[in-house]
Amino acid sequence: MDRTSVTRKARDMAVRVARVTTALAIAQAIGPACGLAQTADAHDGGVDAVALIVEIADPASGRARVRVEIPTTVSADRSVLTFTFPDLRRGHASLDSIRASGSLTREGDTFELKAGSEPLTLDYIIDPTFYPPGQPERVSDARSRITAEMAVVRTTSLFPRFRRLDAPATVVFRLPEDWKVVAPWPERDGSVYEAGAGWGSTVEYVGLGPFAVETLRESGSTFRVGTSPGGDELDPAEVIAIVRTELEILGAGPSGGGDLWSAVVVPRSFMRGGAAGRSSVVQPPDPGVLAHEIFHWWSNGATIAEDAVWFREGFTEYYGVKSARAAAAWTEAEADACLADLNAEMRFLERDGAMSLVDAARAYRSDSRARRLVYAKGALLALHLDRSLTQRGRSLDLVMSRALVPGDRQFGTRDLITLFDRLFHELTGVLETYLLQAKPLPDLHLSDATGLSGCARYLP
């Protein structure tokens, strides 16, 4: 049974259905305020997509005006639709005004919209600013915000989350002239996006602004990249080269989260750190970090179990460096400087005694030093193994593709050791030594640390 053909068929159907609703959404967004009931009546045949119309008319205000249209086919069997704005409480999003076509009540963070025989509409003005929990709060710490120059919006900061509403959504953007959309959603007519059924609960980061955009279609996946113009040292072609490099290493596109992926590169002054959604990343122009985050499209919680976080984060750290270098987004010296800093950090963290990677992985959530060791020692173990394999005319890439590409199972530490053993039996002892024993890695002959690469946190 071919699973993909079935899901594809289902998706095609959803797309066709969404198209009808979008026509309605566009008419509503562009046309004068006409009777909604009338337009919806004209499309009563199986319309089951929600329309989301996002208008940013005055970006300097930091706010967007959003209209949500819910056809009767979606709300029909329900007397009340319940929704929240997920980031309103946890983040700093603020709702300026909200009104609905039907009766709307609010209790705390929860809204209730009475459904009837008419299609429902919701209109609100929102400031979708979002700070990650526990971060300092300079404006550039925000992971979602709208400015006069550009915007990055987090879907859970901008859109409501309806309880028990699984309909897909079509998203229409009305933006300042020359602003583009960089979203992990299929695009139609250059302005309409088809967000899947998980739009209300899946976190994605959408770039809106005068970005230079490039698209790569390969191995059945589409990768959309947007970089902010002027002043940044990364252009979209370099980001595409990183994606292409990782595709070559792994041999196939990522398996989870659909077949469309997006990366937005913003100036450091706009956002200091980065963020990753299910199929999207937003990053400052730092090739190593960007390559790390993009590698997570394959190496994530769906493919790698929590006990193997040494692989999910540590080996991803190494592959971020390897890919940035192979894509020529980093020079040899830049890649070396990153590995040298990771090495110094690992030696510093283990100065009073080494820690096995399995133990470090166990303390990953509770101990920030163990957490950093997962990255540094994990990356350097990958380097050590890859070098040994290269000397034998082989490559660690094979392990990565076998573990990360099938996508139909999750690998834990035991599974990864078994996989490695099947491929490279003669080196299994090396892998096990550093995973299971509290032993420092051998001298890797890396240069002296500069502390300038940004790759390490704890340095002497």
- Residue 73 backbone phi and psi in degrees, to 5: -65, -25
Q: How many CB atoms lie within 10 A of CB 137?
A: 10
- When the beta carbons of 261 and 424 are compared against Zn ion, the nearer one is 261
Per-residue contact string for residues 52-91; x = within reach of Zn ion by CB under 5 A? ----------------------------------------
Identify residues 96-115 at the interface with Zn ion (CB under 5 A): none
Listed ranges 84-92, 312-320, 349-357, 429-437: which one lies at the site for Zn ion (CB under 5 A):
312-320
Distance CA 432, CA 76 (A): 58
Which residue number is nearest to Zn ion in terms of Cβ? 313
Listed ranges 9-17, 29-37, 309-317, 333-341: which one lies at the site for Zn ion (CB under 5 A):
309-317
Listed ranges 147-155, 227-235, 311-319, 433-441: which one lies at the site for Zn ion (CB under 5 A):
311-319
Interacting residues of 342 by C-beta distance below 8 A, sequence separation 6+: 317, 375, 376, 379, 380, 455, 456
Least distance to Zn ion, CB of residue 312, Å: 7
Distance CA 144, CA 207 (A): 9
Least distance to Zn ion, CB of residue 400, Å: 14
- When the beta carbons of 313 and 350 are compared against Zn ion, the nearer one is 313
Listed ranges 46-54, 253-261, 305-313, 360-368: which one lies at the site for Zn ion (CB under 5 A):
305-313
- When the beta carbons of 69 and 313 are compared against Zn ion, the nearer one is 313
- Output the six-digit token pair for 205: 């980061």
Across 128-273, where does the E strand assignment appear?
A: 145-146, 151-154, 161-162, 169-174, 180-182, 187-188, 192-195, 205-209, 212-218, 221-227, 260-265
- When the beta carbons of 196 and 314 are compared against Zn ion, the nearer one is 314
Going by their DSSP bridges, the two strands 212-218 and 151-154 should be labelled as: unpaired
- When the beta carbons of 202 and 283 are compared against Zn ion, the nearer one is 283
DSSP state letters, 150-186: -EEEEHHHHS-EETT----EEEEEE-STT-EEE-SS-
Q: Determine the distance from the C-alpha atom of residue 328 to the mean position of all C-alpha atoms in its chain, rounded to a whole number.
A: 23
SS3 211: coil
Listed ranges 42-50, 187-195, 308-316, 346-354: which one lies at the site for Zn ion (CB under 5 A):
308-316
- When the beta carbons of 28 and 316 are compared against Zn ion, the nearer one is 316
- When the beta carbons of 24 and 275 are compared against Zn ion, the nearer one is 275
Residues contributing to the site for Zn ion (CB under 5 A): 313
